[in-house]
Amino acid sequence: MGSRRKSREAIVTLLYQLDLLKADDPEQGLADLFAEKGFDPEDKAWIRWTVEGVAGKKEELDRRLDDVMNNWTADRLGYLERAILRLGAYELLHDPSIPGKVVIDEAVELAKAFCDDGSVGFVNGALDRLLRERPAVDDPASPWVPDES
């Protein structure tokens, strides 16, 4: 398993915990995660950037997901499905360096690992609809840059 897949699994787990605890600040969760798991510095930087981004844009992400989920809203989802969809939506909308199909494939794999079979199709469908609305990107360079310090 690649380091990005392992990182995404850790992100989903942390987003799930934050949502369950109704916590807005991911700092303690990140500290606990990094103390417990062996991530290299670049993975840690990407995980931090992604978790902080999802936490900071949670309302926007939920609003965008609400727009593409037929007769569903983010607050009606299970915690794990919501965490996976928020991560996927964040990557689609805020990290143009990741191809949309890769984002969806990764989210589907996360849903297979963490959720029931019904959630897999739901995650796929919602993110596919969101991908169709993804803004065109002139510069595919990622806004995420590893910390060189």
Token couple for 22: 């109704």
pLDDT score of 138: 46
- Give the Cα separation of 89 and 131 in Å (integer): 9
CATH classification at residue 76? 1.10.940.10
Residue 33 domain-assigned (yes or no)? yes
Residue 145 domain-assigned (yes or no)? no
Residue 147 domain-assigned (yes or no)? no
Token couple for 93: 């909308």
- Give the Cα separation of 105 and 38 in Å (integer): 24
In this structure, are residues 69 and 126 in contact, taking their beta carbons and an 8 Å threshold? yes
Tell me the helix, strand and coil percentages in the chain, rounded to 5: 70, 0, 30
- Give the Cα separation of 74 and 109 in Å (integer): 20
pLDDT score of 144: 52
Give pTM, 2 decimals: 0.89
- Give the Cα separation of 111 and 96 in Å (integer): 22
In this structure, are residues 89 and 64 in contact, taking their beta carbons and an 8 Å threshold? yes
Residue 138 domain-assigned (yes or no)? no
pLDDT score of 9: 96
Number of domains in the chain: 1
pLDDT score of 2: 57
Contacts of 119 (CB under 8 A, 6+ apart): 78, 80, 81, 84, 111
Write out the residue range of the structural domain in which residue 89 sits: 3-132
In this structure, are residues 146 and 42 in contact, taking their beta carbons and an 8 Å threshold? yes
Euclidean distance between the first and the last CA atom of the chain, given in angstroms as a whole number? 27
pLDDT score of 137: 52
pLDDT score of 1: 43
pLDDT along the chain (149 residues), means of 10: 84 96 92 90 94 95 93 90 97 91 96 92 95 65 49
pLDDT score of 3: 83
